[in-house]
Amino acid sequence: MRIAINGVGVGGPTLAYWLRHFGHEPVLFEKAPELRTGGYVIDFWGLGYEIAERMGVLPELRERGYRMERLSVVDEHGRETAAMPLAPLRDELEGRFVSLARGDLAATLYRACEGIPTHFATSVVGLDHDGDGVSATLSNGTRERFDLVIGADGLHSQVRRIVFGPESTFERHLGCHVAAFRIRDYPHRDELVYVSHTVPTRHVSRIALRGGETLVLLVFRSELLDDGPEQDAKATLRRVFGELAWEVPEILDCMDHEDVYFDRVSQIRMDGWTRGRVALVGDAAACVSLLGGEGTGLAMIEAYVLAGELHRAQGDHQLAFREYEAKLRPFLEEKQASALRMLDFFAPKTSLRLTIRDLSIHAMAIPFLANAILGSTVRDDLELPSY
């Protein structure tokens, strides 16, 4: 089958790789003019890690990644108040864990798709179904014919909007906003350490990257937004974080010279991820939220299972779509429920909740407690099928 995939992030290239592996003809479309690089740092493990291994890209990911050593929580004076070593997590996962920039993961997966037709600065803007296929209208004004169309175009999916309806129907805003940006030559560097400063409703953290770059993550409760006219992202961040101490004034000054990612923290919840000859994968289908920490791995799982079910169904896309949802819906619903618990880790609403969070970080530094907690949280309750 000839299959259009809208989106060249993580899920799109993973899907394209496996579709070609199973004998289909995928075509990738991406609205950006080139592959997006950089992005925030993710912790990569579990079934996504296993899929990367099956794709043969794991050595490159491990080379590009970081072996983070610890999480450090500091107060307004920069004094460490809580810390958690990451060795117990790595041990629990038997070393199958790496931290890396999302853009590096996406670039590695895309390189595995060498030879698959890819059209940058082009995206699906319209779809017409009939019994035999789908006619896709593209942003460059042309129309192409496909057997199936897959939306792998993220939280703000265009394919989902075209086929299923407006984003507001499916978006569940979780009450936080997030910003991320990179700083060149930032003077404060703690190699292989997540350094964070949190006050009630606000969180700032930084990670030292290669090449003299530092990644900064800002999270705040959306109740801190003004009710007045909407400000640009940088003005909003200066107002929300401007009174904080530690390195925050310096970080905000550096922000003025950088591109900033800024968005709501949301989930996508849908009753169905497929309709007719169209299916969704990744954040377009079941975003767990950026703060959930597993979105990239989950997108790879969805892409792999969808491609595998299409192969197993031998061209019966309706059967494949049903099996795709049946296998993954309970698993992803549990992941979404679990992600909600991360809100209080990043931006606890009260001083009491912040204290409880810091005590939990202290507990993770105690080996037997860390092993007990990690054993119940990092294992995926899903067996990855073989196709």
Q: What is the DSSP string of 341-359?
A: TTHHHHS-SSHHHHHHHHH
Contact 288, 267 (CB under 8 A): yes
Q: Can you tell me which residue has the tokens 């003299």? A: 212
Burial 279-297 (b: 16+ CB within 10 A, else e): bbbbbbbbbbbbbbbbbbb
DSSP output for 225-248: S-SSSPPPHHHHHHHHHTT--TTH
54-64 as b/e, with b when 16 or more CB fall inside 10 Å? ebebbebbbeb
Quick one: average pLDDT of 382-386? 88
- To 10 degrees, the CA torsion angle through 15, 17, 21, 25? 80
Q: pTM of whole model > 0.85?
A: yes
pLDDT single digits (tens) 183-234: 999 999 999 999 999 999 999 999 999 999 999 999 999 999 876 556 689 9
Cα(194)–Cα(204) distance, integer angstroms:
11
User: In sequence order, what DSSP letters do the residues of 272-303 get, joined into one string?
Assistant: -SEETTEEE-THHHH---GGGS-HHHHHHHHH
Give me the residue spans of the domains in the chain.
2-67+97-170+268-344
Could you tell me if 108 and 8 are in contact, meaning their C-beta atoms sit under 8 angstroms apart?
no
- What is the rounded CA–CA span in Å between residue 263 and residue 217? 12
The 3-state DSSP class for residue 123 equals coil
Question: Please, are residues 190 and 247 in contact by the beta-carbon 8 Å criterion?
Answer: no
Class of domain 2-67+97-170+268-344: alpha beta
pLDDT in tens, 331-351: 999 989 888 888 888 999 999
Q: What is the mean pLDDT of residues 7-12?
A: 96
